[in-house]
A and B are shown apart, each in its own frame.
Chain A
Amino acid sequence: MSRMQNVVIDSVKTVLGWVPERWLPGGTPDPLIMRRGAVGRQVSRLDGPIKVGGQARFAAEVAMENMCYASLLHSPITRGRMRHLDTSAAEAAPGVILVMTHRNMPRLDIIPLVSVTNLGAVGASALPIMQDTEIRYNGQVVALVLAETQEQADHAASLIQIDYETAGARTHFEAAKATARTPASVLIEKNHTVVGNAEYELAQSPFQVDNIYRTPGHNHNAIELHAVTVAWDGDTLEVHDASQMISGSAAALAKLFGLKKEQVRVLSPFVGGGFGGKGMWDHQVVAVAAARIAGRPVRLVLSRDGVYRIVGGRTPTEQRVALAADAGGNLTALIHTGHSVMPPYSACPEQYTLTGRALYRSKSYAFVQHHLDLDIVPNTYMRAPGESVGTFALESAIDELAHEMGIDPIELRLRNEPETHPLSGTPFSQRALVQAYREGAERFGWARRQATPGTQRDGEWLIGMGCATGSFPYARMPGASASIRLTREGRAIVSCSAQDMGMGTSTVQIQHAADRLGLPMEAIVFEMGDSALPTTPMAGGSSQTVSIAAAIAAAAEKLSGELLRLAGNSSPLAGLRAGEVRMIDQKLVSIEDPSRTESFQQILARASRDEISVSAAGSAPLEMLKFAMHSLSANFCEVRVSEVTGEVRVSRMLGSFDCGAILNPKTATSQFKGGMIMGIGLALTEETLFDERSGRIMNATLADYHIPSHLDVPDIDVMWTGVPDPRSPLGARGIGEIGITGVAAAIANAVFNATGRRVRDLPITLDKLL
């Protein structure tokens, strides 16, 4: 996050600007974009039968001989130190094997934080783990108890006596502004960015809005609790984790415990929801340490309360958005600034100003984010970090400006649609937001909306419609690799350490591999979820599908080359190179002369080979620096607001997406809807209640933190342009996070349309409408 980083990235972008497109990855579109077989089909997720049957084994469900159970004790104070610690009663309790505190915890280094400049890193916290008596945030792990059963461990943990000496803690958002930090960069973007004189334009323009928007903290609340089952065998370590970052976790644990990478194996074939929360936190580390001391396998499952205490969530934000326009509805100023909490020991800058940098043409711009340093559990990435809450502010403001000007809010957006990236002038790889809006508005029946708020009613219920744009940047991570083993029987085993927290990773990559390798889907086995397999980056930033696709494409290209080499001079393919053939119908076929062909089986049989194996890494993702690439959406929603109670019901929602090619309509629909439903929670119910007096989270339960339930979720309609992105593998962009973006604004805008009340402070609870 340094000035140096800004310089380096700017230089690379500048150089890439001079490089011809065809020299870069994505310079020529992926041939599979035009040649669809399994990709694009409605395929039910292939792990469905074992999931509905209860046979899918999650991290806490791996059985081991001689296993014992861990229970954690969390600090009830926010800052201070343990003055006196008495573990004797716990140690004497029935079944207890070990009580671990800072006294007997091995001395360990800090885990490097997840970062754009250190892509292998996985740390979510840069604080020491159980190394000293100091308490740095409320809920910090202070002790671990191992016992023969969970019941014994939980009881013994309750017997540990700690006398705390409290110290002053920083827990007030407002007070922390006095010492706010302004980082040089936000992820790979320069933080403080100014074009023209936005404040001047704001003052001079005939129309302007200038308001403060607030969003509270949020927790991921994956239904699966964070859990590990850990076993040491001599100096090798096996960790069954619920992880979105398998390879990186294995590397981090190896470094932390002084092992070689191959001595650590992290397995995570099924993850019960992640949303950014299933990373490397303190619980894996203390479980591994305790298992080593005890010399026995250990299972540690966090309590739900424990997840809130030691796994951070989305940070609260306070954002200013000011917009101005001339009489023709052309934006003259776009200002997006604000404060969010990010202590120096956390990794996520909650990049809420990124959306405004890429969405609208404007005469002037000003962006800057300030970080507040509070004594809290380190905040982290949660579904569409930045964009989810940033679009709430920006897209509410657009609606407010449209109302001020008496223009339809869609029309205002379309008038300010940029031709190229509005700040850098970089060309878009593909952008069909206008089409998404036109088609979405038609299907939703936007024309029936009454522009004057508060004019539609059904008994006590006021009815309104709203819309908002969603946006999420494309990312493909460097360093993804995959291996392919092709057998003489015509089967292919495709392997990489990929993660699946429910996105349908294996289903979609099997579809992809079938087309890439010219095999039926039934002939593909996809191995994943294991750090012993070729390394792939974390599942984050909606980047995994294209990252793995590029690795499989590279491996397939290498496989073609190997097959051609084996085919030799007596083959009809003799003399051809890898780039000159395709794999179709279990054969290699010359692109130029399709009559020159030979089956995989013939080639392998003639070479007396049972199988052939290759592995390769995907190309460097330079397309994301050469082009402006974003998944986009037009969100529409209808709400009913009770005039009596202030209750808001979302009665209809439509998401119209522009995310490149859709690889599996069935699983993609679920990803889109899943994001939109989390957006309903963001808009109406979700809030991590933080007690600024004590520094403690007050609603650390699923009963008190309200995620949408069945009754909160209407039938949701989704559609997409489906226009392939010519610069990305398979023509696809990310679909995992875009769904939540824009939804909170669409709902807030609909509430305004229904009631005339503008709520700029999420969640929109009943009290704010009475």
Chain B
Amino acid sequence: MAIRINGNEVAIPDDPRVSLADLLREQLHLTGTKIGCNQGACGACTVLIDGERVLSCLTLAVQADGRAVTTIEGLSSEGSPHPLQSAFIEHDGFQCGYCTPGQICAAAAMLRGVADGMPSYVTADLGERAILSPEEVRERMSGNLCRCGAHNGIVEAILQVAKEDVA
């Protein structure tokens, strides 16, 4: 039994109570993944499992057996930051930086979902591919709380990256 985390095989912890978030933070020292509530309300612990966003505090480590987990540390490739990481700096999409890794991981998976044609609650026409308006981004990112109030910068950063992806 093993989990592939940022490309490395990691053994499943012995204690079945260990959450994926605690495995990352306490055992692997991948502390870029944050815990803000430990009950799935804030989104700070968001990581990608096989490319989909998942709340790692509500996921037991054993549930990730055989899957590929990507954390904020694994999002950049060979030292160059992910476009979302650069855009968050450019648009000041954070202040304290604590919810930021979760916001960025969520945004990465969200953009992929949009590209795959996944509609949201505010998508007007379910038959058409969603156009990523600011309202769409807000709806799709509302599971990630930010208390510093960097919402505008976060939405701008995501929209900029979405635009560059299309271009």
A contact residues vs B (CB 8 Å cutoff): 44-45, 47-49, 51-58, 60-61, 63, 149-151, 155, 220-225, 270-275, 301, 303-304, 501-504, 666-667, 669-671, 673-678, 701-703, 707-711, 713, 715-716
Contacts and interface: CB of A to CB of B under 8 A. Distances in A.
A223 B44 contact: yes
Contacts of A303: 38
A53 B81 contact: yes
Contacts of B145: 223, 702, 707, 709
A271 B96 contact: yes
A710 B141 CA distance: 6
Given A52-B72, A703-B39, 16 more contacts: A51-B94, A51-B100, A54-B33, A151-B22, A270-B96, A272-B34, A272-B98, A304-B41, A501-B95, A503-B95, A670-B92, A670-B95, A673-B149, A702-B37, A702-B39, A711-B138
Nearest to B86: A52
Interface of B: 15, 17-18, 22, 25-26, 29-42, 44, 71-73, 76, 81, 85-86, 88-90, 92, 94-101, 104, 134, 137-139, 141-155
Contacts of B36: 223-225, 272, 304, 702
Contact of A710 (B17, B37, B89, B142): B142
Given A304-B37, A715-B152, A54 B42 contact: no
Contacts of B71: 54
Contacts of B33: 54
A58 B25 CA distance: 11
A303 B100 CA distance: 20
B98 A54 contact: no
A223 B95 contact: no
A677 B147 CA distance: 9
A58 B98 contact: yes
Contacts of A667: 92, 95
Contact of A223 (B32, B34, B153): B34
Contacts of B147: 220-223, 273, 275, 678, 707
Contacts of B151: 673, 677, 708, 710, 713
A676 B18 contact: no
Contacts of A716: 152
A48 B37 contact: no
B163 to A, nearest CB: 17
20 contacts: A45-B89, A48-B89, A52-B72, A52-B88, A52-B100, A52-B104, A58-B34, A273-B148, A275-B147, A501-B96, A670-B148, A674-B148, A678-B147, A702-B36, A703-B37, A707-B147, A708-B149, A709-B142, A710-B139, A710-B141
Contact of A56 (B25, B90, B97, B104): B97
Contacts of A673: 149-152
Chain A facing B: main interface SS: loop
Nearest to B102: A223
A51 B31 CA distance: 11
A458 to B, nearest CB: 16
Given A51-B100, A674-B95, A713-B138, A502 B38 contact: no
B32 to A, nearest CB: 2
B92 A669 contact: yes
Contacts of B31: 54, 57-58, 60-61
A158 to B, nearest CB: 12
Contacts of B141: 710
Contacts of A150: 22, 26
A674 B151 CA distance: 8
A229 to B, nearest CB: 11
Contacts of B85: 49, 52-53
B69 to A, nearest CB: 14
A653 to B, nearest CB: 10
A225 B38 CA distance: 10
B80 to A, nearest CB: 11
B130 to A, nearest CB: 15
A666 B71 CA distance: 28
B134 A715 contact: yes
B103 to A, nearest CB: 9
Most buried by A among B81, B95, B138, B146: B95
A80 B3 CA distance: 49
B150 A674 contact: yes
B95 A52 contact: no
A303 B36 CA distance: 9
A283 to B, nearest CB: 16
